């Protein structure tokens, strides 16, 4: 009997993770990013995939129905909104994430976006390259002493707050799933998103996407934000109503936005957000550091190998644990 195969959707994993897969007797095959359901079925069938490692792509219910030999899905990261968790559970397929493995990298990207918006580094770089010298007219915004509000406080949010300590910010957190005694020292819990928006100079999103919070930051929410406030999103693009954000930026309702994720990915060159100099974007690369890729890839491989060998699952990383047998 040959080695079980894991299909990597969207490129390859790190050499270190590949080496561990070889040690654990797990064969790896890659396919292109963002395959359709039919393409995913064809690729998985061709290699008789027992596992999927999802880097860039979705796993809808129809794909799960078409891959009868599939036993486990590992997300190369933590965002699983593109995977039909209920359908996976119905097929007795656990879905696991690389919990905490990319938290530091995403947190650092959030800080990079925040600093770039506050100090207009992307805009000034473009100006400088086109022959302008804006020393006499430009003034940025200091972060020190400002008030920041985090919506969601998982591993990434906590790593982000640790990076912000030198700035001496007032920190408020909205996360109904954690008690106030579990907040970092000095952070204040608020009981509503509205209260957080109204009090914050900076709002940063660190929550998973759910049916309940899709479009959470819409027109009403943006109007509640402080004049000149900065919005940061390294979570999921669908948390923001992008049309409402465009209107808020056009009206000057908020001061700017730093965005690593978008409602439709990849974005287009003519996206209306690119008309604003106070918007800084990156192509969903918050987790894409050499160090995080090693940690995330190893986590995926180890969890797949553990499950295929003995049925072991890490309950902290098992995101559809409502399966009947768990």
One domain for residues 93 and 205: no
Number of domains in the chain: 2
The per-residue pLDDT for range 6-28, each reduced to its tens digit, is 999 999 999 999 999 999 999 99
- Tokens representing residue 62 in the block: 């129809």
**Does 170 lie in the same domain as 89?**
no
- Condensed to tens digits (0 to 9), the pLDDT of residues 103-128 reads 999 999 999 999 999 999 999 999 99
Asked whether residue 76 is domain-assigned, the answer is yes
**What's the pLDDT band for 314 if we cut at 50, 70, 90?**
very high
- Other C-beta atoms closer than 10 Å to the C-beta of 260 total 24
User: In which band, very low, low, confident or very high, does the pLDDT at 325 lie, cut at 50, 70 and 90?
Assistant: very low
Tell me the C-alpha distance between 314 and 326, whole Å: 11
Angle at CA of residue 278, ends 272 and 282, nearest 5°: 70
Distance CA 52, CA 73 (A): 5
Q: Taking CA 189 as the corner, what is the angle to CA 185 and CA 195, rounded to the nearest 5 degrees?
A: 140
The phi and psi torsions of 257 (rounded to 5 degrees) equal -150, 140
Q: What is the pLDDT of residue 324?
A: 41
Give me the CATH number covering residue 34: 3.40.50.720
Which two structure tokens, joined as six digits, stand for 81? 């909104």
Phi/psi at 314 (5° precision)? -85, 115
Q: Provide the pLDDT for residue 8.
A: 98
- List the catalytic residues: 236, 265, 284
Q: How confident is the model at residue 180 (pLDDT cuts 50, 70, 90)?
A: confident
Give pTM, 2 decimals. 0.88
User: Do 121 and 51 share a structural domain?
Assistant: no
Query: Is residue 323 very low, low, confident or very high in pLDDT (cuts 50, 70, 90)?
Result: low
In this structure, the answer to whether residues 156 and 272 fall within a common structural domain is yes
pLDDT of residue 322: 63
Question: Could you give the CA distance from residue 163 to residue 184 in angstroms, rounded to a whole number?
Answer: 12
Work out the percent of the chain whose per-residue pLDDT is above 90. 95
Question: Could you give the 3-state DSSP secondary structure of residue 133?
Answer: coil
Residue 254 shares a structural domain with residue 235: yes
Say if 319 falls within a structural domain.
no
pLDDT in tens, 214-237: 999 999 999 999 999 999 999 999
Last residue of a domain, one of 281, 298, 321: 281
Residue 161 sits in the same domain as residue 188: yes
Query: What is the C-alpha separation between 106 and 291, in angstroms, rounded?
Result: 12
Give the burial string for 40-49 (b: 16+ CB within 10 Å, else e): bbebbeeeeb
Distance, in Å, from the CA atom of 300 to the CA atom of 94, rounded to the nearest integer, reads 13
Please give the pLDDT value at position 222.
98
* Summary mean pLDDT of the chain: 96
CA atoms within a 13 Å half-sphere pointing along the CA-CB vector of 209: 23
pLDDT digits (tens, 9 = 90+) for 134-147: 999 999 999 999 99
With both helix axes pointing from N to C terminus, report the angle between 290-310 and 103-119 in degrees, rounded to the nearest 10.
150
In a domain, residue 326? The reply is no
pLDDT tens-place string over residues 37-62:
999 999 999 999 999 999 999 999 99
Task: Give me the domain span that covers residue 163.
Answer: 103-281
How confident is the model at residue 194, as a pLDDT? 98
**DSSP per position, 172-234:** EEE-TTS-GGGSPTT-EE-S-HHHHHHH-SEEEE-----TTTTT-B-HHHHHHSPTT-EEEE-
Tokens of 10: 């969207």
């Amino acid at each position: 009997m040959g080695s079980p195969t894991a299909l990597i959707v969207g490129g390859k994993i790190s050499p270190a993770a590949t080496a561990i897969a070889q040690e654990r007797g797990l064969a790896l095959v890659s396919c292109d990013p963002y395959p359709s359901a039919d393409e995913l079925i064809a690729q998985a069938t061709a290699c008789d995939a027992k596992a999927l490692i999802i880097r860039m792509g979705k796993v809808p219910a129809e794909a799960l129905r078409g891959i009868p030999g599939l036993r486990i899905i590992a997300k190369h990261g933590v965002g699983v909104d593109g995977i039909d968790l209920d359908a996976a559970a119905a097929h007795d397929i656990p879905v696991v994430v690389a919990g905490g493995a990319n938290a530091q990298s995403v947190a650092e990207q959030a800080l990079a976006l925040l600093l770039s918006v506050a100090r207009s580094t992307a805009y000034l770089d473009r100006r400088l390259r086109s022959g302008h010298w804006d020393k006499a007219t430009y003034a940025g915004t200091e972060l020190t002493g400002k008030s920041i509000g985090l919506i969601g406080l998982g591993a990434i949010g906590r790593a982000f707050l640790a990076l912000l300590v030198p700035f001496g910010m007032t920190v408020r957190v909205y996360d109904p799933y954690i008690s106030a005694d579990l907040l970092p020292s000095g952070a204040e819990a608020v009981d509503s998103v509205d209260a957080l928006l109204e009090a914050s100079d900076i709002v940063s999103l660190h929550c998973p996407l759910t049916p309940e919070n899709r479009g959470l930051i819409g027109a009403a929410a943006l109007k509640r934000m402080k004049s000149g406030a900065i919005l940061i999103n390294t979570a999921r693009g669908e948390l923001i109503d992008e049309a409402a954000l465009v209107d808020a930026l056009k009206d000057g309702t908020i001061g700017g936005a730093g965005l690593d994720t978008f409602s439709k990915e990849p974005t287009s060159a003519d996206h209306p957000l690119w008309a604003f100099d106070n918007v800084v974007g990156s192509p969903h690369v918050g987790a894409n550091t050499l160090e995080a890729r090693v940690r995330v890839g190893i986590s995926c491989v180890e969890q797949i190998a553990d499950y295929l060998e003995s049925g072991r699952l890490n309950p902290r990383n098992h995101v559809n644990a409502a399966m009947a047998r768990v």
